[in-house]
Amino acid sequence: MTRPTRAVIDLEALSHNATLLRKLAGSRRLMAVVKADAYGHGLVDCARTLSPRVDAFAVAFLDEAVVLRQAGLGDRILVLEGPMDVAEADSFAELGLWPVVHRAEQLSWFEQSPTGTPEGLWLKVDTGLHRLGLEIDTLSELVSRAESMAPVTLMSHLACAGDVDDPLSQTQMRRWQAATERFDLPTSLLNSASSLLADNDESQWLRPGYLFYGGQPDGLGSDLGFRPVMRLTSAVIAVRSIAAGERVGYGGRWLAQRDSRIATLPIGYADGYPRAARDGTPVLVGGHKVPLAGRVSMDMMTVDVTEHPDIQVGAPAQLWGDTPGVDEVATHAGTIGYELTSQVTARVPRWLNTGSEPGGLPHG
Ligand SMILES: *Cc1c(COP(=O)(O)O)cnc(C)c1O
């Protein structure tokens, strides 16, 4: 028998979430952010599922868009960091990609490109995140230069997207308003967390990523019916009884306060389960929510199953999915669910669950 650890990708849940987002978007157009291998869920399979349900995709950089084109996907694709250099700029028109222009120099590359100009240009405005974007006071000149090449869309990105009442969100929204009202151009501001909050946003494009995968950005979305797309699963490969006073795992971090039963799962930080997870992090084993006991090691982890004598070797385990949710696990590890799904490593086989069979099909 092979190691039972796998990431099961539920493409039906992905479609379901897309339908919910479509409703949320109302009359706005819907872009699915599929950067970082669709947040670790598998870029091409997710994009094929989403293609009929969204108006465009967004990826971080050119190579990610090339993967989609090579897989035969003809959708509109926005490249969030735009071209890295003049040579890359030539590929945008060739491959039919929309670049984000966040630096004036990128516009010059397109003006000089021998392959022609892209079909659309998205100008990114720095409203206060201070990561990428054009200065607001340079915008007029750059918009006219861009408009002479292709249709222009304006975009920006919020630093505290989950909290529109945060003073920084208020400042960014004010600057965004001032920057965009001078032009009669389509706009795009909101990602997952903010899309649930800002009913009165007038942007033409909604630009979520995490909600497609059923995550709960900033604790939002739990009651809205989004379903987790990834289930990280394994099974018990050893169970032992230890006496009170014994310690478990590297560093002896977990101390048995009573005579205990410890179950071992063949999944560790080299699979993407976070080493930072603290004792007590919930794991579903044999249908019971049990606590992590001891430090996560490279290939294995241990849980306290003292309360559940029915848990034996072979009992199925779920590291995240519906229970516990990836965001709950992330909280116990001092991070966010985005980091956990996108860091599931290549040695974990992805299994596609297309809806019909619970186990699904292995997928390379
Ligand atoms: C990643 C990203 C998004 C999507 O963010 P989510 O929180 O996953 O919805 C939207 N816009 C930009 C610029 C991004 O980098």
pLDDT in tens, 268-299: 999 999 999 999 999 999 999 999 999 999 99
The pTM of the full predicted model, rounded to 2 decimals, is 0.95
Atom of ligand 1 nearest to the CA of 132: 13
Taking the centre of ligand 1 as the mean of its atom positions, its distance from the CA of residue 190, in whole angstroms, is 8
Split at pLDDT 50, 70, 90, the class of 351 is: very high
Say yes or no to pLDDT of 360 above 60: no
- Which pLDDT belongs to residue 240? 98
Say yes or no to pLDDT of 145 above 70: yes
Task: Please give the structure tokens belonging to residue 357.
Answer: 């069979």
Is 192 touching ligand 1 by the criterion CB < 6 Å? Answer: yes
pLDDT in tens, 7-66: 999 999 999 999 999 999 999 999 999 999 999 999 999 999 999 999 999 999 999 999
- Which pLDDT belongs to residue 355? 55
Atom of ligand 1 nearest to the CA of 60: 15
Q: What percentage of residues in the chain have a pLDDT greater than 90? A: 87
Say yes or no to pLDDT of 98 above 60: yes
Taking the centre of ligand 1 as the mean of its atom positions, its distance from the CA of residue 268, in whole angstroms, is 28
- Which pLDDT belongs to residue 44? 98
Q: Which residue has the higher pLDDT, 220 or 101?
A: 101
- Which pLDDT belongs to residue 199? 65
